[in-house]
Structure 1
Amino acid sequence: MKYPFLGWTGQTIGVTAPSSGLSEQQQEWVERAVEQVQARQMNVRLGETIWSHQHAESAPAKQRAEELNRMMTDETIDAVIPPFGGERAIDLLPELTLATYQTKWLLGYSDISTLLLSLTLQTGIATAHGPNFVELRSEEWDETTSAWRRVLATPTGGTVTQWASDRYQSKWTDEERPAGSLFQLTEATEWKALDERTEVTGRILGGCLETIRHLIGTPYGDVQRFQREEINGEPILWYFEVSEANSAEVHRTLRQMAYAGWFNHAAGFLFGRTSARITEDLTWLNVYQYLADETGLPVLYDLDIGHQPPQVTLINGATGTVRIQGKDSRIDLTFN
């Protein structure tokens, strides 16, 4: 594995839109995020793709890919953080010049995880699943969200710890938020285990289930090669977050992943909180139990991952140990 490193001050963040761009009403989000990032002693370089959006994409695929390629090879840019996810990141995969990429962080979630997972699987460069750029626009960053800086500043060989949040946001609304805060953290957080197995260790890998599932059976999703050649056959600790897919869709996708061999040598599964709907009486606990029964592996769920913020920053390729222990639940990431 190859781990990027992002220092604490004077670093330059590149912002490009490999999936969705910003509507006119959303453009101020980036401007506010720039202000907050600069206030924390980092510089920002904005790409052209972020300012447009049509046909569920920020720009034509070649233009999106060229801008991402430039930022990932530019020595003056230290990390790349897209504004947010979207729908069509998968278009870029054949256009990415991965062999030229520097070892630098690419951070994001939702549709961005399509690129994160594929980049790590193909190159062995670690990628970061965590806040998108527009989620950095508030004056105050909660402890869970702000951990991305600690995580991305962890040196190779080091270990970084993140704890479960105290509270989370159950849904996105336009209601007034506390002064200086982006999220409405109103619900009590509780990381849970499906059975008595409350601790699991493995090589972290995963993303937004609705988007990364389209890598199955393609050259961009060769899990077996990655496991064999990049992590010496170590078991994978899979993490998934679900935005909108219903419980039946998720069940089918997990089966497809299993049939494709993605879970052949796994350590367990981590699921983020979700507000997506269930199908008939197929509950999320049913889905998790079917997966546990089929694989015999531990399942931990309702973690701080994904579309119900705040979320921890997970590193594709790092060794992760998750412990469920009430309010002291934690994840330790080791960059080995």
Structure 2
Amino acid sequence: MITYPSLKTPVKVGVAAPSAGLHIKQHFYLEQAIYRLQAKGYEVIVGNTCWTQYKAKSAPAKTRAEELNLMLTDDTIQLIFPPWGGELLIEILEYIDFEKIKPKWVLGYSDTSVLLLAMTLTKGIATAHGPNLIELRGEVSDSTTAMWEEVLFTNQGEEVMQYPSEKYQEYWQHDYETEYVFHLTEQTKWKTISNEPIYVKGRFLGGCIDVIRHLIGTPYGDVLQFQKKFINNEPIIWYFENCQMNVTDLRRSLLQMKLAGWFTNCNGILFGRSAANEPVDDYNIIDVYMELVEELNVPIAYDIDCGHMPPQLTFINGAYGEVRIYNSGSAVKQKFI
């Protein structure tokens, strides 16, 4: 069975940087985000790793792991919320004491999805793929981003609904400050490869393909064992987002997942919007999706709210899900069962 963490007010939040921290000139991003959480009644504990960044990481691997281990085993901390992702979270996995982890929410995306997926696959603890902490530093959050709270406050046995955003952000403008962090200008439309409505059910798993693909073949990426041990071999709905890969790199990664058994008993795949997906010769992203449909014989949707072109849904790894994509009325239901 999946273990779902629960939040009880007042909530104590641990902020650690298991991947990237912040350079001095970026500290105000985190300070603003912490202020916003505290104004909403959260108690916030900030680790030392958050304030440093050197050679593509916040601190040496063992230092990052030690800080994270303290938060993962602290009964008083209910939510661990990294400031953002990064590049080298995978360095710390061998130093994380997975056997001592206390069930608690971990929330984020990008490189953080390595930790999220590893925790769910190895321990059966639900984890939350959603906004990064510094993306909550604005005076106001759009309705899609703001759903992270409602999702994480959902109790075991309950369900929560999420819907497509109205608009999404085409590119980042960090120097353009408004009451919102994101600048949502483009019309959102979830699409299917078949151009037909789809309805799929299963257990959610996923993350940023650029980094979670490196769990394949490690003790932290055994999807088949997870299905057998924690979800009674129920089918999986995968959600993915591509941060930086061109289409041939993405294709290679998806094939590796297939060969490793990640798509065994898969009911569907959801791909988030991406500013990457660059064509190679005349080979483009739709070709990749269509080949995958043909090989796996499962419905595939794309341009959903997930990843580095915000806003994004909060997907719960391990949760039972139902996905409906229609011209009107698209929705994601998650049940904590």
State the TM-score bracket (shorter-chain normalisation).
Answer: over 0.9
Structure 1 outlier segments of 4+, above 3 Å: none
What amino acid is aligned across from residue 124 of structure 1 in structure 2? G
Distance 2:227 2:273 in 1: 27
Counterpart in the other structure of 2:325: 324
Counterpart in the other structure of 1:100: 100
**1:174 to partner: Cα distance:** 3.9
Number of aligned residue pairs: give it.
334
Distance 2:328 2:242 in 1: 23
Counterpart in the other structure of 2:18: 18
Counterpart in the other structure of 2:288: 287
**1:175 to partner: Cα distance:** 5.3
TM-score, length basis structure 2: 0.97
Distance 2:120 2:240 in 1: 16
8 A contact 1:166–1:327 mirrored in 2: no
**1:278 to partner: Cα distance:** 2.2
Counterpart in the other structure of 1:38: 38
1:92–1:174: structure 2 CA closer, same or farther, 3 Å change rule? closer
Distance 2:72 2:129 in 1: 17
Counterpart in the other structure of 1:147: 147
8 A contact 2:168–2:311 mirrored in 1: yes
SS for the counterpart of 1:219 is coil
Distance 1:34 1:326 in 2: 39
Distance 1:283 1:175 in 2: 32
Task: Pick which of 160-169 and 272-281 moved more.
Answer: 272-281
**1:99 to partner: Cα distance:** 1.2
SS for the counterpart of 1:220 is coil
Deviations 1:220-243 (Å, cap 9, x if unpaired)?
100010001100000110110011
8 A contact 2:197–2:326 mirrored in 1: no
Counterpart in the other structure of 2:5: 4
Whether 1:183 aligns to 2:182 is yes
What amino acid is aligned across from residue 72 of structure 1 in structure 2? L
Counterpart in the other structure of 1:305: 306
Counterpart in the other structure of 2:90: 90
Distance 1:223 1:153 in 2: 27
Distance 2:231 2:318 in 1: 8
Whether 1:114 aligns to 2:114 is yes
For structure 2, the 5+ residue unaligned runs are: none
8 A contact 2:272–2:304 mirrored in 1: yes
Distance 1:267 1:219 in 2: 24
What amino acid is aligned across from residue 322 of structure 2 in structure 1? T
8 A contact 1:164–1:327 mirrored in 2: no
**1:326 to partner: Cα distance:** 3.1
SS for the counterpart of 1:118 is helix
Distance 2:118 2:180 in 1: 33
**1:197 to partner: Cα distance:** 4.7
Counterpart in the other structure of 1:255: 255
**1:77 to partner: Cα distance:** 1.1
Counterpart in the other structure of 1:64: 64
SS for the counterpart of 1:249 is helix
**1:203 to partner: Cα distance:** 0.5
Deviations 1:271-305 (Å, cap 9, x if unpaired)?
00001022222211111101000000000110000
Deviations 1:46-92 (Å, cap 9, x if unpaired)?
00001111111100101100111101111221100100000110011
CA RMSD in angstroms comes to: 1.0
Counterpart in the other structure of 1:125: 125
8 A contact 1:247–1:279 mirrored in 2: yes
What amino acid is aligned across from residue 61 of structure 1 in structure 2? A
8 A contact 1:86–1:111 mirrored in 2: yes
8 A contact 2:197–2:324 mirrored in 1: no
What amino acid is aligned across from residue 6 of structure 1 in structure 2? L
8 A contact 1:210–1:243 mirrored in 2: yes
**1:98 to partner: Cα distance:** 1.1
What amino acid is aligned across from residue 241 of structure 1 in structure 2? E
Deviations 1:251-281 (Å, cap 9, x if unpaired)?
1100110011111111110000001022222
Distance 1:30 1:193 in 2: 37
Deviations 1:13-56 (Å, cap 9, x if unpaired)?
11000001101111110000011111111111100001111111
Counterpart in the other structure of 1:160: 160
Distance 1:56 1:291 in 2: 33
Task: Pick which of 313-322 and 273-282 moved more.
Answer: 273-282
Distance 1:44 1:159 in 2: 27
8 A contact 1:190–1:327 mirrored in 2: no
Distance 1:280 1:40 in 2: 50
What amino acid is aligned across from residue 307 of structure 1 in structure 2? H
Counterpart in the other structure of 1:272: 272
TM-score, length basis structure 1: 0.97
8 A contact 1:193–1:301 mirrored in 2: yes
Whether 1:217 aligns to 2:221 is no
Distance 1:93 1:37 in 2: 28
What amino acid is aligned across from residue 266 of structure 2 in structure 1? A
Counterpart in the other structure of 1:192: 191
Identity of aligned residues (%): 49
SS for the counterpart of 2:220 is helix
Distance 1:218 1:158 in 2: 33
What amino acid is aligned across from residue 182 of structure 2 in structure 1? F
